[in-house]
Amino acid sequence: MARDRAEQQEIDASAKWPVLVFFGSALLWLIIGGALQLAASIQLHTPAFLADCEWFTHGRIAPAAQNALVYGWGMNAGFAFALWLMARLSAAALRSAGWLMVAAVFWNLGVFLGLAGILGGYSTSYELLEMPSFASLLLLGSYLMIGVWAVTTFSVRNTEKVYASQWYILGAAFWFPWLFLVARLMLSTSPVNGVVQSIVNVWYVNGLLNLWFVPLALAAAYYFLPKILGKPIYDYYVAVIGFWWFAICSACSAGSRLIGGPVPAWVATLGSAASMLVIAAVVIIGVNLLGTLCGNFAKAQKSTTLRFIILSIVGFMLAAALNFALSVRSFAEMAQFTFIPELRDWLLLYACFSTAMFGAAYFFLPRVTGKVWRAPVLISTHYAATALGVLALTVGLVVAGWKQGHLLNLSDVNFATITNEITPWLTYRSVALMLLSIGHLAFLINFVWIACPCCSPCTTAATIKNPPEMEAHQA
Amino acid sequence: MKNGLLIFSGAFATLALSWAGVVLTANNQLGSLTQYKDPVDDALYPAPLTGLANQGRLVYQDLGCVSCHTQQVRRAGFGSDIERKWGKHQSVARDYIQEMTVLIGSSRFGPDLRNVGSRIPDADYFYKLLYNPQTKFAGAPLAHGMPAYPFLFETRPVGSVQSSHKAIKTTADGKEIVPTARAQALVAYLLSLKDSYEYPEAKPFVATEKKEGGH
């Protein structure tokens, strides 16, 4: 046991610098992306806000915010988490920290240039692929450098079993470059004809969210629940069915985003059917995760990590329910061009993925740095702001989207009326986004304290301290 | 699952299935769609964009108009697109084959623009809208939630002889506000947005009734 622990510390330490660099840059992008998102949200109820400046017109700032949050925050945080967890679960030290840090520099350079491209007017206008081509090349190149190390760590593993979290990480590591490369080739390098472009675009967006962000969130949930609660995953044997079912169905569910659109009917029908079938996987994953949680809720509430993970599971379920509703034609007829699909995507990216990364970071950052979190009050602030913000934003966008969709379908209601009706709810959304930003700032301050080598002395006590309630189960 | 190779090949097969099943099949079906030759006047539809309108498409793209505007008309009976006069018939794949970048959009924070060129065939209206959407027009603002695009216009002193015929307004201190080349291209693009031709595949499907007493 003592040897195990020493080994684990060695593995955690091997991931220190890559994790800090990736997670630190992720947090910076989270702040920048959050600010841009807030500005874009304000513009929807106060159109004059920043309108005079071409770089910050709504049509540029909104995709820039989205890209900053997806490629800047989301993917950087995902890299930090996945590399660390892969090393831990494979019981192998993370190699080539130097390479990873070079890749991190290029990745962030790519995101920076891409955002500058969007704000400067070189957007491609394809959702989540707005970045100009030169930035994509940097992103893809550095991704390959990063992904290869996750796979290498796995292939030199010192364990017999391959755990559920590893399936999800491996899947995600492999799916993203394919999705990205194919989408870029079929949209920018040699563009396909007509609406096939729209099909490629939704295939990419759907794949990125469901085959990259969600798997990493699930990897976190599958790891931390048993780890911290000290009991195995409930009915673990069905997890493998859940994994494949989720992967296959959500990979095919893209078409439901094009219901009623100028595409052949089978595209939307296939997508809708797959979106509905995903529910079976959500139920299986739910049995695994909620079953583990059942009876241990009070214990889970004591761990910051698990509180965030529970939030993430709730976000995952909500997004799945909303996606199911949106693939029903009669609901899509009302809701498809409103704020409701936007809410679905936001739930996947934020309520499901980002909260899982917050929870994971509260666990791995003390372990890789060998320090303790400085200010518990900032942790509570972060959690409270996140939970309230997610709730507020979900309610706000559901109401706004509902009203908007209902009024859009009444042909005698003019646009000014619709805008007036939903404006209060959009104002409310801006407030919710501000709340989330407060949480982000609290987290950033705590992160700086724990990450900066000069901020607090390295406490050996913290390194050795591995309280049983924090890490009871050897996965 | 213990085998890394199994996970890898499964993951490969999963995405291969969706890529082949959704993207490649759609490309196979629609990728070679060509213009439709009208049997009566022998003309080809849809016609390509004019040069200026095509430049305007780039402005539309770079300003991110797609964030708030769709360009797709849903069929009669599915939403109120036809009742709102956003189009006379539903949009079909063939409508888009001349477009280098297909911008069907996914948000209707603003109205659909697929046929805005036939709905409002008035360049001056668009210039005013872009310069200041809050301009009163028949007692109400042109567009309530839309940002202004003042950077698409230049304010300059009125020329010695007369003001430019393109000027949208003259200010009190003797200056005129003139659309820049980008604004002109964008408006040309907006005016070009009209799917005038109804292809056979866009016609609503009418089920032929069974003959009475037929077997």
Q: Return the domain boundaries, chain A.
A: 1-160, 163-333
For the segment A223-250, what is each residue's pLDDT rounded down to a tens digit? 999 999 999 999 999 999 999 999 999 9
Helix axes A58-67, A97-119, angle to 10 degrees: 170
Q: Give the type of residue at A146.
A: I
Buried b (16+ CB within 10 A) or exposed e, A289-304: beebbeeeeebbeebb
What the block records as the tokens of B39 is: 């049997």
For residue B78, is pLDDT > 90? yes
Using alpha carbons, select from A281, A181, A180, A275 the residue that is nearest to residue A240.
A281
Residue found by looking up tokens 């990125």 in the block: A208
Q: Torsion-angle region of residue A434: left (phi > 0), alpha (psi -120 to 50) or beta? A: alpha
Best interface-test mutation with A: which of B6, B12, B23 has the largest number of A CBs within 10 A?
Answer: B23
What is residue B175's predicted lDDT score, i.e. its pLDDT? 83
CB A349 within 8 A of CB A445: no
- Considering CB atoms only, which of A174, A193, A254 is closest to B31? A193
Distance CA B148, CA A119 (A): 17
**Chain B: closest CA distance from residue A58 (Å):** 7
What residue of B is the nearest CA neighbor of A407? B80
Enumerate the residues of chain A whose CB falls inside 8 A of the CB of residue B108.
337-338, 404, 408
A264 with B93: Cβ contact below 8 A: yes
What is residue B139's predicted lDDT score, i.e. its pLDDT? 66
DSSP annotation string for A363-401: HHHHHHHT---S-HHHHHHHHHHHHHHHHHHHHHHHHHH
For residue A462, is pLDDT > 90? no
Enumerate the residues of chain A whose CB falls inside 8 A of the CB of residue B93.
194-195, 262-264
Return the bridge partners of B177, or none.
Answer: B155, B169
Using alpha carbons, select from B43, B187, B199 the residue that is nearest to residue B117.
B187
**Class of residue B211 by CB neighbours under 10 A (exposed 0-12, middle 13-18, buried 19+):** exposed
For the segment A249-273, what is each residue's pLDDT rounded down to a tens digit? 999 999 999 999 999 999 999 999 9
What the block records as the tokens of B147 is: 């940002």
Distance CA A117, CA A124 (A): 10
- For residue B63, the Cα-to-chain-centroid distance in whole angstroms is 14
What the block records as the tokens of A368 is: 């890789």
A194 with B97: Cβ contact below 8 A: yes
B66 with A342: Cβ contact below 8 A: no
Q: What is the ipTM of this complex?
A: 0.92
Would strands B153-157 and B175-179 be described as parallel, antiparallel, or unpaired?
antiparallel
Q: Give the type of residue at A119.
A: L
What the block records as the tokens of A408 is: 């859009």
- Determine the CATH number of domain A163-333: 1.20.210.10
- Helix, strand, or coil here: A207? helix
pTM for the model stands at 0.94
Cα-Cα-Cα-Cα dihedral sign, residues A220, B7, A175, A14: positive
For the segment A267-298, what is each residue's pLDDT rounded down to a tens digit? 999 999 999 999 999 999 999 999 999 999 99
For residue A196, is pLDDT > 90? yes
For the segment A129-182, what is each residue's pLDDT rounded down to a tens digit? 999 999 999 999 999 999 988 888 998 998 888 999 999 999 999 999 999 999
Cα-Cα-Cα-Cα dihedral sign, residues A374, A379, A380, A381: positive
Distance CA A405, CA A402 (A): 5
* E-state strands within B13-167: 36-37, 44-45, 136-137, 140-141, 153-157
Residue found by looking up tokens 């831990």 in the block: A88
Residue found by looking up tokens 């100028």 in the block: A262
Q: Please state the φ and ψ torsions of residue B196, each to the nearest 5 degrees.
A: -75, -25
For the segment B120-152, what is each residue's pLDDT rounded down to a tens digit? 999 999 999 999 888 776 666 778 889 999 999
